[in-house]
Structure 1
Amino acid sequence: MKMHHLPKTLGRVAALLAPGLLVMASAAAPTDRATHGMVKRSELEIVDCLLPGQVRQLGNRSFLSQRRPIRTTASECSIRGGEYVAYDRADLQSALRIWLQAAESGDVEAQTNVGEIYERGMGVEPDYEAAAMWYQKAADKNYARALFNLGTMYEQGLGVPQDGLKALNLYRQAWGVPEDNIIYASAAQREQDELRKELEGAIAEKDGQLELLQRQLKELQAQLARQASADHAVEDSNKEIQALKKWIEQLQAERRKNTERLAGIPRTRTPRGTTELAQLPPTADERTLAGMNFGRYYAIVIGNQNYQSIESLATPKADAERAARILADRYGFTVSILEDANDITMLKAINDLNAVLKPDDNLLIYYAGHGARLQSGRSEAGYWLPVNAEAPPKDTFWVPNEQITGHLGRLPARRVLVVADSCYAGLLSTDPSYLFLNDKVSYSQEYIKFKLPKRARLLLSSGGDKPVLDEGSGGNSVFARAFLDELESNQGILSSPELFSRIRKRVEVAAQNNKFVQRPEFKSIKGAGHEVGDFFFVPRSRS
């Protein structure tokens, strides 16, 4: 077993991309970074850009339309004559200035972007109440991304009261599922039963406390009535009586609140259909199955192993090569491999996909290499470390997760999955797919039919925000071994939540055998346009 003996903020990372051919590329960083491919790092960074208005003709009159906000690269913003903040791009007010006017005019995408800016904080403390308010404005117009984001706020109790049932209902609306659908109805029933049990327990506890306090109050009042002591003793008893009365009033108010919540739990409609849902055939060559188009599959596989200024790793290249082979051969991905990539190469590879991907496509980004987190005040920023990265705190060449998220948000592909053998900072909320599934409802045609049209921006991470094992599993990292073994042995259509459920325990047990604690995570990437979609692995048929 080999672990990184780097500062605490550093750890191993991994990510994947897409379908068909297998392309091998070496991307070692050149000495002269400024002229690498005639592209500057700053040109590839995502910015909040305010484009100039359009000159429009109405009859014999010309007029200039309102300026339009978009998120794009600094290079494209400049080419199109747009305005962006060249420095201090993480400043909250700079980002708000770009989007606020459109949000106030009722643009749902701008309202959702403003909510995300407030939620993430972007250089200042997050304002969850303001985030929830802007999400609500767009959610009222049934905008799926806002509905999902607002659901995560209720799930976590950020800026709004924590309410799992409310979160579930918002996810349902974002997903486009009717209330009487079997998948939603069964999940809602579970949430209702759990909430009802919790509230009934709380009410029973309050009843016991009230009974005890009221008995103490009666005893104290009777004692005071018999008391013939000095005035100061009577005064002390009166104070104790008032304290007990105040305590009783507080418990009664809490009991009333719980009783009202219990009475307000809705009854689920009788679900349509049964738990025995029609299953799809396991494989497809044309990526069209039962009338559903899964689109094309692409993958970028990055294996950063030989670092120039920090400790090198042992397994990223082996992990990346095996991942590329399985994705191409078993699932028909078109795969590009980047070995020992610098910061420009990594960002350019993702940005160049804008000219390749189409709206129905799928993208998998697999990143194997070092990752890091830096803390500033109460906020943390996560990074992928290219091979030209310097040791912390020198983060000049580090690739911020915020920039990766920005690129993912503007890619046209409907479904994107990032597989990271390390931490990916700045992510909130678990993916709600688990809320909709139980042991009796499988990943069926009905599930896929609802999920397939929705945008997905998902992360499968090897170990949250803590260091993870580089070796320990026969030439692969512990996480890569479990992940790739499952993909290689899988025989049917495999959704990303199900893949996570298969590998989670394997990774935990393998890490434990190496006397290490490692827990994979599965999350949505907020701020990148996630709309409760999913990512599906569809094996090629073998005739």
Structure 2
Amino acid sequence: MRDNCGLNRRPTAIGGGKTLLALISAALLGACAGPQQDSAGLPPDSEDMIAGLYIVDCLLPGQIRKLGAMTYQTPRRPVKTTAADCNIRGGEYVAYDRANYKTALKVWLPSAEAGDPKAQVSVGEIFENGLGTEPNYEMAAFWYAKAAEQGDKTAQFNLGTLYEQGKGVEQNKLKALNLYREAWGLPEDSLMYQATAQKEQEALRASLESQLKSKDAQLKLLESQLQSLRSKLKAAKARGASPELATAADELNTLSELVTTLKNDRVAVAEQLSAIPKLRTPVAKLRTPEAGVKQRTPGVFEAASSDGVEVVRGESLSFEGTNFGRYYALVIGNRNYSALEDLETPFNDAREIGAVLENKYGFTVQLLLDADRLTVMRALNELHEVLTEDDNLLIYYAGHGSLIDIGDRNAGYWLPVNADAPPNDSRWVPNEFITNHLGRMQARRVLVIADSCYGGLLSSSPGHLFFGNAAGAEGSSEYIRYKLPRRSRLLLSSGGDKPVIDGGGGGHSVFARELITILENNSQVMSAPALYANIRQPVMARAEANNFVQEPVYKSIKGAGHEVGDFFFVPKSSQ
């Protein structure tokens, strides 16, 4: 057993078979062309090709349009796309490694100021992420609010996370909850919203009542001290002790000011407490629908990969009349490293998880074993060409992870098999690359499961308020009806922003062992929050049995277009 953050060894060949998602156009590959293999038979880690796969803020030229006899050109259009695609389309962008918030703002700010909500969200994300400087949460909140007022779901969610954390705005969990509700499109009188709102109101009420009790105790103590000082001052006056009088008078003034301040604080807390509305709607338990017979509708995959191997689209899954769409999985297991310590379990983890997803849940799976940087980056990029709006994507990564301290926050990385040892990060895959591609993908629902050290750094979002969790709502018809149409970009990390162990699970990592068990034993529609709720304690217990502290973390991924949606696992048949 060892943690997933080690050092030192030799390269091995890439495994995993033909590329499932090899639909990237010949033009795109041609724009970054280089030698296709080195002497060992491995694809080259071409810096030119990799640079072309990064997402950039691209300013496309205006379109030439004709209106009757008049020809005119539209304004230039900002878009997030790959550097290679931007080149092909005649766009303008700043090279990725020289980009900062000023150059990014130059692309998006004109459209944002003109009222485009998507551009306003991009400007907000630029300020929130910092891009080479410290984050400006106040400006991020300002631009998110503008887009939220126009009903933009991503803006409502992003602004909600700022209110939940108190970044750039005064912390207000009820305000955050209401913004999440709006992003979800949930009515205010919904039982799910009422249940969570009541829970938050009760927590806030308990906190304020505790503050009142504490302030009352402090006031009582200070009043006692004031009375003692007044007696001391009176005695000093009677004795005519001038120095003693002056000291006692100063103490009395200071203490009086403290009492006044504390009384004002108490009034403010009491006003907050009295302003909390009482919910009169009765909160009922939401029933989980009974397992039914699932209908499977075959889908059609109309394209083939660039190497001539036909790629088959998955089938669209339906359950009790609800169409969940097609399911895809990119499963990566990195075990044998060239410059880092080899791991033991990623191959077992990736193969078995891929098999469960394919056989029980109908996923079309692409398995990558011992993938180098170019292979990982190309696989993520090619997903854009395969996935459609109603599709679901799960990305699973098992391997080394690392982080770099960049001031007030840390940046996380996945380490491909050709990664150099820290601190040389030139061959690492940054979280920012992953997040940017998640935002570009068409798929409505995306879940990333990262079983690596510091995997939780893929998201800076809080573990935000989830409606109805306490009431067991995740499998209910109402929950599915509201969640399914919303975009989701979610992260389940095996250990948050801390190291995790490689073994301890009988040939698997402690996290992968529990994940496989839960997925194999599930017989109903299961949401991502339900998966997290089922896996958290077992992983912690299994890690503790291996003398290690490890706690899974579940978050949304900001900056990737999350709209308070969810991810659902739909078994092919009920047990």
Task: Tell me how far apart the structure 2 counterparts of residues 326 and 541 of structure 1 sit (CA, whole Å).
Answer: 13
**Conserved in 2, the CA contact under 8 Å of 1:371 and 1:385?**
yes
The aligned runs of 1:285-434 (5 Å cut-off) are: 285-286=295-296, 287-422=317-452, 423-424=454-455, 425-432=457-464, 434=466
1:99 to 103, 108, 111: 108
Aligned residue number for residue 14 of structure 1: none
1:258 to 269, 287, 303: 269
**Conserved in 2, the CA contact under 8 Å of 1:342 and 1:386?**
yes
Q: Secondary structure, in 3 states, of the residue corresponding to 1:40?
A: helix
Aligned residue number for residue 289 of structure 2: 279
Aligned residue number for residue 70 of structure 1: 79
Task: Tell me how far apart the structure 2 counterparts of residues 452 and 525 of structure 1 sit (CA, whole Å).
Answer: 17
* Offset of residue 53 of structure 1: 1.6
TM-score, normalization: structure 1? 0.92
1:446 to 458, 469, 478: 478
- The CA RMSD over aligned residues, in Å, is 2.6
What amino acid is the match of 1:405?
T
What amino acid is the match of 1:265?
I
**Conserved in 2, the CA contact under 8 Å of 1:45 and 1:403?**
yes
Task: Tell me how far apart the structure 2 counterparts of residues 465 and 2 of structure 1 sit (CA, whole Å).
Answer: 17
**Deviation readout 1:487-513 (Å, 9 max, x if unpaired):** 011111110111111111111111111
Aligned residue number for residue 13 of structure 1: none
Aligned residue number for residue 250 of structure 2: 239
**Deviation readout 1:376-430 (Å, 9 max, x if unpaired):** 3333211111111111111111111100000000100000000100223252234
Q: Which moved more, 1:515-524 or 1:78-87?
A: 78-87
Q: Secondary structure, in 3 states, of the residue corresponding to 2:139?
A: helix
1:176 to 185, 189, 192: 185
Aligned residue number for residue 554 of structure 2: 522
**Conserved in 1, the CA contact under 8 Å of 2:418 and 2:427?**
yes
**Conserved in 2, the CA contact under 8 Å of 1:384 and 1:399?**
yes
Task: Tell me how far apart the structure 2 counterparts of residues 433 and 493 of structure 1 sit (CA, whole Å).
Answer: 21
Q: Which moved more, 1:403-412 or 1:345-354?
A: 345-354
* Offset of residue 434 of structure 1: 3.4
Task: Tell me how far apart the structure 2 counterparts of residues 76 and 259 of structure 1 sit (CA, whole Å).
Answer: 58
Aligned residue number for residue 10 of structure 1: none
Task: Tell me how far apart the structure 2 counterparts of residues 243 and 28 of structure 1 sit (CA, whole Å).
Answer: 78
Q: Secondary structure, in 3 states, of the residue corresponding to 1:63?
A: strand
1:138 to 127, 147, 164: 147
* Offset of residue 142 of structure 1: 2.0
Q: Secondary structure, in 3 states, of the residue corresponding to 1:257?
A: helix
* Offset of residue 258 of structure 1: 0.7
2:215 to 195, 206, 209: 206
Matched, 1:83 2:92: yes
**Conserved in 1, the CA contact under 8 Å of 2:288 and 2:475?**
no
Aligned residue number for residue 30 of structure 2: none
Q: Which moved more, 1:252-261 or 1:88-97?
A: 88-97
The aligned runs of 1:150-189 (5 Å cut-off) are: 150-189=159-198
Q: Secondary structure, in 3 states, of the residue corresponding to 1:472?
A: coil
Task: Tell me how far apart the structure 1 counterparts of residues 483 and 562 of structure 2 sit (CA, whole Å).
Answer: 12
Q: Which moved more, 1:60-69 or 1:326-335?
A: 60-69
What amino acid is the match of 1:466?
K
Task: Tell me how far apart the structure 2 counterparts of residues 536 and 5 of structure 1 sit (CA, whole Å).
Answer: 31
Task: Tell me how far apart the structure 1 counterparts of residues 123 and 153 of structure 2 sit (CA, whole Å).
Answer: 15
**Residues 2 and 211 (structure 1), Cα distance of their counterparts in 2 relative to 1, 3 Å cut:** closer
Q: Secondary structure, in 3 states, of the residue corresponding to 1:463?
A: coil
* Offset of residue 207 of structure 1: 1.9
Task: Tell me how far apart the structure 2 counterparts of residues 289 and 355 of structure 1 sit (CA, whole Å).
Answer: 27
Q: Secondary structure, in 3 states, of the residue corresponding to 2:470?
A: coil
* Offset of residue 62 of structure 1: 2.8
* Offset of residue 3 of structure 1: 3.5
Task: Tell me how far apart the structure 2 counterparts of residues 23 and 32 of structure 1 sit (CA, whole Å).
Answer: 20
**Residues 167 and 24 (structure 1), Cα distance of their counterparts in 2 relative to 1, 3 Å cut:** closer
Task: Tell me how far apart the structure 2 counterparts of residues 381 and 111 of structure 1 sit (CA, whole Å).
Answer: 25
Task: Tell me how far apart the structure 2 counterparts of residues 154 and 179 of structure 1 sit (CA, whole Å).
Answer: 19
TM-score, normalization: structure 2? 0.87
Unpaired segments of 5 or more residues in structure 1? 8-16
Task: Tell me how far apart the structure 2 counterparts of residues 479 and 32 of structure 1 sit (CA, whole Å).
Answer: 34
Q: Secondary structure, in 3 states, of the residue corresponding to 1:302?
A: strand
**Conserved in 1, the CA contact under 8 Å of 2:474 and 2:480?**
no
Task: Tell me how far apart the structure 1 counterparts of residues 191 and 367 of structure 2 sit (CA, whole Å).
Answer: 42
**Residues 33 and 378 (structure 1), Cα distance of their counterparts in 2 relative to 1, 3 Å cut:** farther
**Conserved in 2, the CA contact under 8 Å of 1:29 and 1:342?**
no
**Conserved in 2, the CA contact under 8 Å of 1:406 and 1:528?**
yes
Task: Tell me how far apart the structure 1 counterparts of residues 574 and 5 of structure 2 sit (CA, whole Å).
Answer: 45
* Offset of residue 234 of structure 1: 2.2
What amino acid is the match of 1:316?
P
Aligned residue number for residue 489 of structure 1: 521
What amino acid is the match of 2:408?
R
* Offset of residue 28 of structure 1: 10
Task: Tell me how far apart the structure 1 counterparts of residues 362 and 205 of structure 2 sit (CA, whole Å).
Answer: 47
**Residues 4 and 498 (structure 1), Cα distance of their counterparts in 2 relative to 1, 3 Å cut:** closer
**Conserved in 2, the CA contact under 8 Å of 1:217 and 1:244?**
yes
Q: Which moved more, 1:208-217 or 1:463-472?
A: 208-217
Matched, 1:475 2:485: no
**Residues 502 and 389 (structure 1), Cα distance of their counterparts in 2 relative to 1, 3 Å cut:** same
**Conserved in 2, the CA contact under 8 Å of 1:363 and 1:416?**
yes
**Deviation readout 1:311-361 (Å, 9 max, x if unpaired):** 111111111111111111000000111111111111111111222111110
Task: Tell me how far apart the structure 2 counterparts of residues 284 and 454 of structure 1 sit (CA, whole Å).
Answer: 22
Aligned residue number for residue 119 of structure 2: 110
Q: Secondary structure, in 3 states, of the residue corresponding to 1:407?
A: helix
Q: Secondary structure, in 3 states, of the residue corresponding to 2:534?
A: helix
Q: Which moved more, 1:516-525 or 1:163-172?
A: 163-172
**Residues 244 and 176 (structure 1), Cα distance of their counterparts in 2 relative to 1, 3 Å cut:** same
**Residues 531 and 42 (structure 1), Cα distance of their counterparts in 2 relative to 1, 3 Å cut:** same
Higher relative contact order (CA 8 A, sep 6+): 1
**Residues 146 and 442 (structure 1), Cα distance of their counterparts in 2 relative to 1, 3 Å cut:** closer
2:133 to 105, 116, 124: 124
Q: Secondary structure, in 3 states, of the residue corresponding to 2:80?
A: strand
Task: Tell me how far apart the structure 2 counterparts of residues 30 and 420 of structure 1 sit (CA, whole Å).
Answer: 32
